[in-house]
Amino acid sequence: MKNLRVARRYAGALMDIAEAGKTIDRTAGDLETIASALRGSRELWLLTQSPVVSPVKKAAVFRAVFVARVGEGTMKFIDLVIAKQREKHLPEIVEQFSLLRDEKMGIVSVSVTSAVEFTPSQEKDLGSELERYTKKKVRIRITVDKAIKAGLVVRIGDTVLDASMRRQLELLKARFLEGGPSTN
């Protein structure tokens, strides 16, 4: 169950610590290592979800698995999360930390849905246009969905720029049904 308020609070506290120690990138890498392990190991995931296993045993397992793979500051943070019995929120904490990190670095994540594959030069051009539009660095994730027929759907945070053929056809249909004037 997602609890973004809890995740945001813990991620914010960790960001404050990482900023003070100038270890933001290292901490982000550590958290991604932990998130990747949680995604890749059903047993580890179930351990974080179990109310039966004591926090002491959970902390011991996490220390055994991660002490050699993550920094000491991150390990102390994980110990705290487990002691406060918030370990089931680790994936959300990692996600929120990543968002905070991007925000501090002036990076915005952009999701682009297209009807066709982009060439590398088209992707680069789109990235440049989106950077000009957002006035930030962009991290683009492109997916192909033939259902949009043609064009693009761009999501930047809560903003959706829908320039798809499907949307244009929906608007045209609505105008015809309303009996409104067409734009020819």
Backbone angles phi, psi at 86, to 5 degrees: -115, 15
Nearest alpha-carbon partner for 141 in 101, 107, 113:
113
Which of 6, 82, 1 lies closest to 44, judged by CA?
Answer: 82
* Alpha helices (runs of H) in 41-71, residue ranges in sequence order: 42-49, 55-66
Confidence at 37, pLDDT banded by 50, 70, 90: very high
**26-53: string of b/e by CB count within 10 Å (b at 16+)?**
ebbebbebbbebbeeeeebbebbeeeee
Domain 4-103 CATH (choose: 3.30.750.200, 1.10.520.20, 3.20.20.370, 3.40.50.170): 1.10.520.20
Q: 73 to each of 40, 70, 105, how far by Cα in Å?
A: 23, 8, 21
The domain spans of the chain are: 4-103, 106-178
CB atoms under 10 Å from CB of 173, counted, come to 10
Mean pLDDT, residues 83-95 taken together? 93
| pLDDT the model gives residue 3 | 78
Q: Which residues contact 55 (CB under 8 A, 6 or more apart)?
A: 82, 83, 85
- pLDDT value at residue 184: 54
pLDDT (tens digit per residue) in 164-173? 777 777 778 8
Which tokens is 144 given?
A: 């192909």
Nearest to 163 by CA among 145, 171, 151, 149: 151
**Residue 183 reports pLDDT greater than 60:** no
